[in-house]
A and B are shown apart, each in its own frame.
Chain A
Amino acid sequence: MNNLVILPILIPLLAAVLLIFMNKSIKLMRAFSAISSLAAVAAAVVLVQTVFTDGIQTLYVGGWKPPFGISLVADQFASLLALTTAIIGFLTVLYSFRSIGEKRERFFYYPAVQFLLAGVSGAFLTGDLFNLFVFFEVLLMASYVLIVIGGTKIQLRESLKYIVFNIISSALFVIGVAYLYAVTGTLNMADLSVRISESGQTGLITVIAVLFLIVFGLKGGIFPLYFWMPGSYYAPPAPISALFGALLTKVGLYAITRVFTLIFTQDTAYTHQLMVWLAALTIIFGVIGSIAYWDVQKIIIYNIVTAVGVILFGIAANTPASIEGSVYYLIHDMIIKGALFMLGGTLFALTGTNNLKKMSGLIKSHPVLGWMFMISAVSLAGVPPFSGFIGKLKIAEGGFISGEFVITMLMLLSSLLVLYSVMKIFINGFWGDERKDAPAKRPVKGFIYPAAILLFLSLAIGIGTEFVAPYFHQAADTLVNPEKYIEAVLKE
C-alpha cells in the first residue's frame, strides 16, 4: 500500500479540473499548468526511485484486496513510462506557450492536455483490465478534443475518422473484456495471469489473446491497423502532434507488452510468432512510407510506425535481452519522437510549408535548429552515443538468440532507411542555397528549448547507460518473470 502510486494520475487530473476554472486568464493557465506538470515529473521521479529501492509498489484503491477491488501497480516498467510521460507533458506545455496560439489556449487547451496526461499515466499504472479500458477512454476523449481544437477543415475531416476508428477499437476492447470475464471470471491482471496458468491456455484464450492484439494494435498502429495514423497525426498543430506521437501509440504498445508478458504467456508458439510477422510487416510498411514522402510531418509519422514495429519485434522475440531492448527503445522513442515533432513544427513555423522541395539553406540562418535536427536524426537511427543504440542492440541480440535471423536483419536494415528518411529532411531543408522567395521569417524564439531538453535526455541515456541500466534492467526483469508482479499484487 502506497499512495505515491496514484500521484502521477492525480496531479494532472486535479490540475485539469482546476484549469477549467481559470480560462479567463491565459497567463494564469500557463503558469499553473507548467507548475503542475513539473510537480507530476517530481512525483514520477520519486516513484521510480521508490520502486527501484523497495520493489513493486501497489495501491489497493479503497482498501479492497485484489482481485475484488481495483489495484494500481507500479512496477519499474510502468514507473519509467509514467516518468517519461510526465516529462513529455511538461515539455509540450512549455512548447505550447509560443506555438499553439491564444485562440486555442482559450478553449480549454491546457485542461485537455492535463486530462490526456492523466489518462496515459493511469493506463500505465493500472492493474485491472476494465480500468485500463476506462483510462484508455479518458486519454482518447482528451485526444478527440485536442485533435479537433481550433476547428480547421482538415482537423474536422481527420478527427471524424480518428474518432470512428477509436470507437470501433474501444467496442472491440469491451468485447475482449466480456469474453475474458466469461472464461475466467476476473478482471484483475495478476489474478487473470494466475487463473490462466492454472487452467492452461486453451484455444478459446488464444482467440481472446489475438482479439486483444487487434485492439491494442489499432491503438498502437501495428501493420494492418495503422491506416488511421498518417492522416490523424497530420491534422493537428505541432505541440499536439508531439503529444500524440510520443504518447498515444506507446500506450497501445505498453498494453501489448503487459498483456503478452503477464496474461497470455502459455501459447507463445502461436501468439508470439504472429506478433513477429506483424512486427516485420509493420517495419516494412513504415519504412516504405517514410522514404516515399517529401513532407516533413509525414516522414516523422511513418517513422512512428517503423519504431512501433521494432518495439513489437522485441516483445515478440520473447527473450530477456530483446524485452530489455524493447523497454529501452520504447522510452527512447517517446523522447525522440517528441523532439522530432517539435523540431518539425518549428520548421513549419519558420518556412510556412511542410514540403521539402520548397525549403533549403536554413542552416545559415538557423544553425542551432539545424544541428539539433541532425542530432535527433542520428539518435533516431540508433547511432552509438545516443539513446537509440542500446535498445536496438539488445533487440537484435535477442532476435538472433530466438533464431529470427531474417527479421532481425530486416530490422537492422530498416535503421538505414530510417536514417535516409530523416537525413533527407536535413539535406533538403538545411543544406543548399538560401531561398530568395522564402516567406517572411516568423520568430521562433522559445520553440527549440523543449526539444533541446529532450535531446539532452536522449544523449544522457546514451552516454550514461551505466547509470540508467539498473532501472531498465529491473523493468525488464519484472516483464520476464511475471511471478514477481503477481506476488507483489496478490500477496497476503
Chain B
Amino acid sequence: MEILMSFIVGILFTAATYLLLSKSLLRVIIGTAVLSHGVHLLLLTMGGLKKGAPPILQEGTAAYVDPLPQALILTAIVIAFGVTSFLLVMAFRAYQELKMDDMDQMRGNDQHE
C-alpha cells in the first residue's frame, strides 16, 4: 500500500513541478495546490498505513492508526489554504494592475539601467 501511495505522490510532484515551470500564473497556482496535495499525502503515507481503528478512544479497540500525522496534516492543510487564498487574491490584483498573467513578462529589470 505504501508503495502505491509513493507512486501516486511521485506523480503529483511531477505534475506540480511541470505546472510550476509553466508561463501562465494560474497554472503556477494550480501547481502549488497539487504540490500541497502531494505533500499531505506523503505525510499520511510516511506515518504508516497499517490497519487500525480511527483515533477515537473506544473500549475494545486493540489498535489505532497513528494520530500524530493526521494532526500535522490538518495543520498543514489550513496553512496551505490561507497561503493559497492570499496568492489567488494577489494574482487577481496583479492581473488588474499589470494587465497580464504571463510570468515571462514579469521580469524585474526595467527599473535598472
Q: Which residues of A contact B (CB under 8 A)?
A: 130, 133-134, 137, 140-141, 144, 148, 151, 153-154, 156-161, 163-164, 167-168, 170-171, 174-175, 177-179, 181-182, 187, 231, 234, 294-295, 355
Given contacts A156-B97, A182-B47, A355-B113, A171 and B36 within 8 Å (CB-CB):
yes
Q: B interface vs A, CB < 8 Å?
A: 20, 25, 28, 32, 35-36, 38-40, 42-43, 45-48, 68-69, 72, 75-76, 79-80, 82-83, 86-87, 90-91, 93-94, 97-98, 106, 108, 111-113
Name the one of A148, A160, A171 contacting B39, with C-beta atoms under 8 angstroms.
A171
> When the two chains form their complex, are residues A168 and B113 in contact, meaning their CB atoms are under 8 A apart?
no
B98 neighbours in A (Cβ, 8 Å): 153, 156-157
Do B69 and A160 touch (CB < 8 A)? Answer: no
A272–chain B nearest beta-carbon distance, Å: 27
B79–A137 CB distance below 8 A: yes
> A394–B23 Cα gap in the complex (Å)?
47
- Which of B28, B47, B75 makes the CB contact (< 8 A) with A134? B75
> Are B108 and A154 within 8 A (Cβ)?
yes
**Chain A residues near B47 (CB, 8 Å)?**
178, 181-182
A39 to B: closest C-beta gap in Å: 28
A144 cross-chain contacts in B, Cβ below 8 A: 83, 86, 90
Q: Is the CB of B97 within 8 A of A153?
A: yes
Tell me the bound Cα distance from A377 to B47 in angstroms. Answer: 51
Taking CB atoms, residues of chain B closer than 8 Å to A148 are 90
Chain A residues near B94: list those with CB within 8 A: 156-157, 160
Indicate the member of B28, B39, B48, B113 with the most A CB atoms within 10 Å: B39
Other 9 A-B pairs with CB < 8 A, given A157-B106, A167-B36: A130-B75, A157-B98, A159-B90, A163-B83, A164-B87, A174-B40, A175-B39, A177-B43, A181-B69
Q: In the complex, which of the residues A141, A156, A168 contacts B32, with contact meaning CB atoms closer than 8 Å? A: A168
Write the chain B residue with the least CB distance to A161: B106
B112 touches A156 (CB 8 A): no
Pairs of residues from A and B, 5 with the lowest C-beta to C-beta distance, nearest first: A182-B46, A178-B46, A178-B43, A156-B94, A174-B39
Chain B residues within 8 Å of A171, by CB = 32, 35-36, 38-39
The reply to whether A174 and B43 contact each other, CB–CB distance below 8 Å, is yes
- Let me know if B20 and A168 touch, CB within 8 A: yes
| Nearest CB of chain B from residue A456's CB, rounded to whole Å | 34
Task: List 14 interface pairs A-B (beta carbons < 8 Å), by A numbering.
Answer: A137-B83, A153-B97, A154-B108, A156-B90, A156-B93, A160-B87, A168-B32, A170-B83, A177-B43, A177-B72, A178-B39, A178-B42, A179-B46, A231-B108
